[in-house]
Chains A and B, each alone.
Chain A
Amino acid sequence: MVPPLLRITGVSKHFGGFAALSEVSLEVAPGERFGLIGPNGSGKTTLINCVSGALRNESGSIEFDGAEISRLPAYQRTRRGIARSFQIPRPFKSMSVLENLVVPLEYVAHRRTLHTADTWEEAMAILRQMRMAEKADSPSNLLSQVELRKLELARAMAARPRLLISDEAMAGLAGNEVDEVLEILLELNRAGITIIMIEHIMHAVMRFSQRVICLDAGRIICEGAPAEIVKNLEVQKAYLGA
């Protein structure tokens, strides 16, 4: 049995009196394609924030690659191999698309030890993989929605992660754009990266995930293969109301 890459045990997070997460536990195996679904406000992004370090969980433990990380600042978690994209894209607006990628390359992947020219080359390679090479010198505040989403993923990739968390990367995109992003994620997974996908677009989650967990009101209500989840009554209730 291969040990899980990510193990979350009994994680809780409150905002004032509101329980965003209650005793959430899950495991993600290395190389797995993991789907996380749930209605709005169910705690998906809060969970991701606790894993990436944007928030601190109040109780429970988060282990990555066997080591406890819940006390580490976010940038150290990134350096250990966890990368995430943001639901609402947050490009470094004063920089070009290419330079956006240089930041994680310098700070995570290479720690300034590589020659500058090599770093920019590597950034170009990632852009090509994302099919965005022609936008390399564009100012990042002038991109279209799908380009912004791809930039988010590209920037996460530039951190050379072992675990990539994609937070609603396809929200609001047109059909062929969704397929494009999905294809990129599948390619990344084939290259060995474990991916957690948070999505509302059901057919994307179904096509992508090997295993799906459904959250509602801060708790896990269902876990299993995509086909099972869809049929589950609890899940249907959560999405459609009682």
Chain B
Amino acid sequence: MKFWIGVALAVALAAGLALSGTNEYFFYAGYVVLQFVVLATAWNILGGYAGYVNFGTAAFFGIGAYTAVVLFKAAGAPLGVQILAAACASGLLGFGTGLLTLRLRGIFFSIATVAVIFIMQTAIVNWRYVGGATGVQLLRPPAMPPFDSYTRMLFVVMAIMAVAGVCIARYIEVSWIGRGLRAIRDSEEAAECSGVPTLKLKLFACTVSGALMGAAGAPLPMYMSFLEPASSFDLNYSVSALAMPMIGGTSHWLGPVIGAILLGSVQQIVTVTISNEINVLVVGVLLVVFVVAAPDGVLGLLRRLKWFRRSSG
């Protein structure tokens, strides 16, 4: 019950902010942080719960963005349809990648996800309809009332997506699916011998994860008013989506949220005040530091201080 109150509050807060007189820049930055909440939450469904490390977040994200662009260019599709289609496309990509490699050891899956990034990016670069390597410019439709600007509207859309993503992750986590995934992570062999259909569950997690990542990518073209392969398939998405749950904590849905807000905000600050390269360095260093020193992330530390109980929360 507490959870749903929190959800309602979060959505109300987002909408309220969007309708208030807050500085426009807040929404530019806020959109990015919320986007990372979705990406980190999506990553954690397969990476944290099941223990299969996806390096290819950028591919699922980028394909989501490009699916949205194709639908917009071809049929002027509204944002809602774009998001749905993007989720389907990236979900399919997740399913395909999983089918190919989830039977094998974890590292082969991880390398395959890197392969997917390159293959997808190369395919897009060679596709003239979406502008190839130079990319494509887009004209945003006018902002829908009651929002003053399109960016504010996208902020709320992303907030709803973040909430939806967290709800999905939470449901998986506390249900029998989550238990099966955890069994797979703890000992896949024992899980299989306990009747857990390991391949099916992994495929499910991979597909859902991919779909969410694609959905997160769908509003990107509208957010930036343009889209090009180099930045939409940027490996930074992959590293961040991996680092955020590692930093926040991978065993609970709150972990990716904390990690995304913390690291996302740090990234915004560093990119603006110092440089983009230092930003990537910071992400890399934080990832290594947490993986080595604090493997259970912020939530793990809080748990040790007894400030956080592991509940079905």
A-to-B contact residues, CB < 8 Å: 52-54, 73-76, 78-79, 83-84, 86, 90-95, 99, 102-104, 106-108, 112, 155-156, 158-159
Contact A74 B187 (CB under 8 A): no
- Set of chain A residues within 8 Å of B138, measured between Cβ atoms: none
Interchain CB contact (< 8 A) of A106 among B179, B198, B251 = B179
Contact A103 B199 (CB under 8 A): no
Contact A54 B195 (CB under 8 A): no
- Set of chain B residues within 8 Å of A83, measured between Cβ atoms: 193
The 4 closest A-B pairs by CB, nearest first: A108-B195, A107-B195, A104-B194, A92-B186
How long is the Cα–Cα vector from A80 to B93 in the complex, in angstroms? 33
Contact A92 B193 (CB under 8 A): no
How long is the Cα–Cα vector from A94 to B185 in the complex, in angstroms? 9
Of residues 181 through 206 on chain B, the ones whose CB sits less than 8 Å from some CB of chain A are 182-183, 185-187, 189-199
* Smallest CB separation, A207 vs chain B (Å): 27
The 11 listed contacts between A and B (C-beta, < 8 Å) are: A52-B193, A53-B193, A54-B192, A78-B193, A78-B194, A79-B195, A92-B182, A95-B186, A103-B179, A108-B194, A158-B194
* Smallest CB separation, A112 vs chain B (Å): 5
Decide: A78 near B195, CB < 8 A? Known: A99-B179, A106-B176: yes
Q: Is B180 an interface residue (CB 8 A)?
A: yes
Contact A107 B193 (CB under 8 A): no
Total B residues in contact with A, Cβ cutoff 8 Å:
20
- Set of chain B residues within 8 Å of A99, measured between Cβ atoms: 179
Contact A94 B182 (CB under 8 A): yes
Contact A74 B176 (CB under 8 A): no
* Smallest CB separation, B186 vs chain A (Å): 4
> Which residue from chain A places its CB closest to the CB of B190 in the assembled complex?
A90
- Set of chain A residues within 8 Å of B197, measured between Cβ atoms: 73, 75-76, 107
* Smallest CB separation, A4 vs chain B (Å): 22
- Set of chain B residues within 8 Å of A53, measured between Cβ atoms: 192-193
* Smallest CB separation, B252 vs chain A (Å): 11
How long is the Cα–Cα vector from A74 to B193 in the complex, in angstroms? 6
Q: Which of A54, A75, A155, A158 has the most CB of B within 10 A?
A: A75
* Smallest CB separation, A23 vs chain B (Å): 26
- Set of chain B residues within 8 Å of A76, measured between Cβ atoms: 197
Decide: A54 near B189, CB < 8 A? Known: A95-B182, A103-B180: yes
Contact B193 A54 (CB under 8 A): yes
CB 8 Å contact bits of B243-267 with A (1 = contact, 0 = none)? 0000000010000000000000000
CB 8 Å contact bits of B25-47 with A (1 = contact, 0 = none)? 00000000000000000000000
- Set of chain A residues within 8 Å of B199, measured between Cβ atoms: 73
> Which residue from chain B places its CB closest to the CB of A116 in the assembled complex?
B176
Contact B183 A92 (CB under 8 A): yes
Interchain CB contact (< 8 A) of B194 among A73, A94, A159 = A159
Interchain CB contact (< 8 A) of A73 among B179, B187, B192, B251 = B192
Contact A94 B251 (CB under 8 A): yes
* Smallest CB separation, B93 vs chain A (Å): 25
* Smallest CB separation, A54 vs chain B (Å): 6
How long is the Cα–Cα vector from A86 to B193 in the complex, in angstroms? 10
Contact B194 A107 (CB under 8 A): yes
- Set of chain B residues within 8 Å of A78, measured between Cβ atoms: 192-195
> Which residue from chain A places its CB closest to the CB of B185 in the assembled complex?
A94
- Set of chain B residues within 8 Å of A73, measured between Cβ atoms: 192, 197, 199
Decide: A159 near B195, CB < 8 A? Known: A92-B182, A95-B182, A99-B179: yes
How long is the Cα–Cα vector from A54 to B189 in the complex, in angstroms? 7
Contact B182 A104 (CB under 8 A): no
